[in-house]
A and B are shown apart, each in its own frame.
Chain A
Amino acid sequence: MKGIITVLGKDQVGIIAKVCTFLAEENINILDISQTIVSGYFNMMMVVDITDSSHKFTEHSESLKKLGKDIGVDIRLQREDIFNSMHRI
């Protein structure tokens, strides 16, 4: 199953490192990353594949939310389906 991770917040050292470490530990594969910084605000989108992970999707979204809170940024994991449904016919 594919998911989209979005990270939004004030830029600081180590955001990508912390998110990627979490993903590696959970055996979640990163398929695509794009990232920009606009006026000091960090904005990242990742496409990930969680098929081989042993935890449930909802558990990952909870954990990432918590990780975001710890770092001080907003992290969301959502199933790709919502974006496909809305933007692709």
Chain B
Amino acid sequence: MISRYEVVETNKMIQEANLDVRTITMGISLLDCVDSDSKKLNDKIYDKITKNSQNLVKVGQDISKELGVPIVNKRISVTPISLIGGNVTDFVKIAETLDKAASEVGVNFIGGYSALVQKGFTKADKNLLRSIPEALSKTERVCSSVNVGSTRNGINMDAVKQMGELIKEMAFLTKDNNSMACAKFVVFCNAVEDNPFMAGAFHGVGEADMVINVGVSGPGVVKRALETVRGADFETLCETVKRTAFKITRVGQLVAQEASKRLGVPFGIIDLSLAPTPAVGDSIAEIFNEMGLEQAGAPGTTAALAILNDNVKKGGVMASSYVGGLSGAFIPVSEDHGMIEAAQCGALSLEKLEAMTCVCSVGLDMIAVAGDVSAETISGIIADEMAIGMVNNKTTAVRIIPVIGKEVGDRVEFGGLLGYAPIMPVNRYGCDAFIKRGGRIPAPIHSFKN
């Protein structure tokens, strides 16, 4: 029989430490929607999404009520649209269809307006890439991602160059709304096919027709647990993170199994990510503070993050039958009040964040920079981050927002879970000639494992 102590512990995690399940994401393959006729294609996409996900939000709400744990987001990921669009030239129309379908079933984001171009472009890839700024500025719920590199394939530097230009263009198109389109766009190296988190979620081609992936969260719970071992050695610290991650993940596993059963859709994976929100007590930076760092970004931060990331995985892997996605600790700036504070007071720089991405689960995330930062500089930042991913055999990503009209010292509000961010300074020395070279960076030597 469950003891009162255990019940109180669980409920304290939920009520006081912001334990939640961050997202139930339904992956839907659109491969069977392919059609050379644009109208038919859009109709098929709309029908397939709305028919299969109509109960997603309701099921999520029911499970949340029954278990007493918040399930914050219900979302959809689809097959990368560049694989579905084929000869269709009007890709923006597809984005609008996705937006309409997402709105119809009540999910807040739909991911997969994506292309995988790590080695080269197809005609459809090119069409899709060109359409991204317009698509993201015309839609509300559509998220887009582009994979431009991988450990197996190297980095497509033509794509990296284009990403800088696209990001600037989408920033400009949404300049009246804090360049918001950039917050819905992410550039990847080693993108994963079963990530439930936005903006980078898409339903990989190796996946089943439909699948349920769940992203757990709970930085606040880890922080609370660490408060009980303040000053203890690293062994105790790591054990505490592991135990907490185990408990958090068990809740995610339960939610995933229930959702899978009720929706009649196979369970894919649990993504064991510590995803912060702007709320106090739901922050990765607060965990660093608790570990003994005055501010995120202080010397020792990369080591602290490495400990956190590794032990979240070690604890979580035991708790779920299938672990996947990005799994680890996210370090978005605008979505974490402690990171925002650290960036504001100068403790946390873009360069330190880059170092931290070597050991976190993803990469440079939700970073606002001045609107006049050049496309080439943004491409340079992306190239650096992709190189870290390629060489270290890990997923890295860049979600950067050059906010038109803002300068270092200003602040930008994105609202909701996306939070707010100070404009961070960027190294202004040029990299134009490097980015303009074009072509492909070959795969690193350790990719030849066969």
Which residues of A pack against B, CB within 8 Å? 4, 6, 32, 34, 43, 45, 47, 57-58, 61-62, 76-88
Which residues of chain A are within 8 angstroms of B62 by Cβ–Cβ distance? 58
Known: A62-B65, A78-B67, A79-B66. A4 touches B250 (CB 8 A): no
Which residues of chain A are within 8 angstroms of B68 by Cβ–Cβ distance? 61, 76-79, 82
Q: Which residue of B lies closest to A78 (CB)?
A: B68
Known: A6-B11, A57-B66, A78-B66. A87 touches B1 (CB 8 A): no
Which residues of chain A are within 8 angstroms of B8 by Cβ–Cβ distance? 6
A88 and B7 alpha carbons, distance in the complex (Å): 12
A37 and B12 alpha carbons, distance in the complex (Å): 18
Q: How far is the CB of A16 from chain B (nearest CB, A)?
A: 15
A45 and B11 alpha carbons, distance in the complex (Å): 12
Q: Which of B2, B4, B9, B66 contacts A84 (CB 8 A)?
A: B2
- Contact between A34 and B6, CB atoms less than 8 A apart: no
Known: A58-B62, A58-B66, A78-B66. A85 touches B254 (CB 8 A): yes
Q: Which residue of B lies closest to A81 (CB)?
A: B254
A76 and B11 alpha carbons, distance in the complex (Å): 10
Q: Which residue of A lies closest to B258 (CB)?
A: A81
Counting CB contacts under 8 A, is B251 at the interface?
A: yes
Q: How far is the CB of A87 from chain B (nearest CB, A)?
A: 4
- Contact between A85 and B250, CB atoms less than 8 A apart: yes
Known: A61-B65, A79-B67, A82-B69. A34 touches B4 (CB 8 A): yes
Counting CB contacts under 8 A, is B247 at the interface?
A: yes
Q: How far is the CB of A9 from chain B (nearest CB, A)?
A: 13
- Contact between B7 and A6, CB atoms less than 8 A apart: yes
Q: How far is the CB of B25 from chain A (nearest CB, A)?
A: 20
Which residues of chain B are within 8 angstroms of A84 by Cβ–Cβ distance? 2
Size category of the binding interface on chain B: 20 to 34
- Contact between A4 and B2, CB atoms less than 8 A apart: yes
Q: How far is the CB of B71 from chain A (nearest CB, A)?
A: 12
Counting CB contacts under 8 A, is B10 at the interface?
A: yes
Q: How far is the CB of A78 from chain B (nearest CB, A)?
A: 4
- Contact between A83 and B65, CB atoms less than 8 A apart: no
Within 8 A of A (CB), among B1-46: 1-2, 4, 6-11
Q: Which residue of B lies closest to A61 (CB)?
A: B65
Which residues of chain A are within 8 angstroms of B195 by Cβ–Cβ distance? none
Within 8 A of A (CB), among B66-80: 66-69
Extra A-B contacts (7), CB below 8 Å, given A32-B1, A57-B66: A43-B4, A62-B65, A79-B66, A82-B10, A82-B69, A83-B10, A87-B6
Which residues of chain B are within 8 angstroms of A76 by Cβ–Cβ distance? 11, 68
Which residues of chain A are within 8 angstroms of B69 by Cβ–Cβ distance? 82
Known: A82-B251, A84-B2. A4 touches B7 (CB 8 A): yes
Known: A32-B1, A45-B4. A86 touches B65 (CB 8 A): no
A47 and B67 alpha carbons, distance in the complex (Å): 14
Q: How far is the CB of A65 from chain B (nearest CB, A)?
A: 9
Which residues of chain B are within 8 angstroms of A83 by Cβ–Cβ distance? 2, 6-7, 10
A24 and B58 alpha carbons, distance in the complex (Å): 29
Which residues of chain B are within 8 angstroms of A61 by Cβ–Cβ distance? 65-66, 68
- Can you name 30 A-B residue pairings with CB atoms under 8 Å? A4-B2, A6-B7, A43-B4, A45-B4, A45-B7, A57-B65, A57-B66, A58-B62, A58-B65, A61-B65, A78-B68, A79-B68, A81-B67, A82-B10, A82-B67, A82-B68, A82-B69, A82-B251, A83-B2, A83-B7, A83-B10, A85-B250, A85-B251, A85-B253, A86-B10, A86-B247, A86-B251, A87-B9, A87-B247, A88-B2
Q: Among the interface residues B8, B65, B69, which one has the most CB atoms of the partner chain A within 10 A?
A: B65
Q: Which residue of B lies closest to A3 (CB)?
A: B66
A62 and B8 alpha carbons, distance in the complex (Å): 20
A72 and B2 alpha carbons, distance in the complex (Å): 26
A73 and B62 alpha carbons, distance in the complex (Å): 23
Q: Which residue of B lies closest to A74 (CB)?
A: B15
Which residues of chain B are within 8 angstroms of A6 by Cβ–Cβ distance? 7-8, 11
A62 and B6 alpha carbons, distance in the complex (Å): 23
Which residues of chain A are within 8 angstroms of B253 by Cβ–Cβ distance? 85
Q: What 1/0 flags go to B252-296 for Cβ under 8 Å of A?
A: 011000000000000000000000000000000000000000000
Which residues of chain A are within 8 angstroms of B251 by Cβ–Cβ distance? 82, 85-86
Q: Which residue of B lies closest to A62 (CB)?
A: B65
- Contact between A86 and B6, CB atoms less than 8 A apart: yes
Q: How far is the CB of A20 from chain B (nearest CB, A)?
A: 18
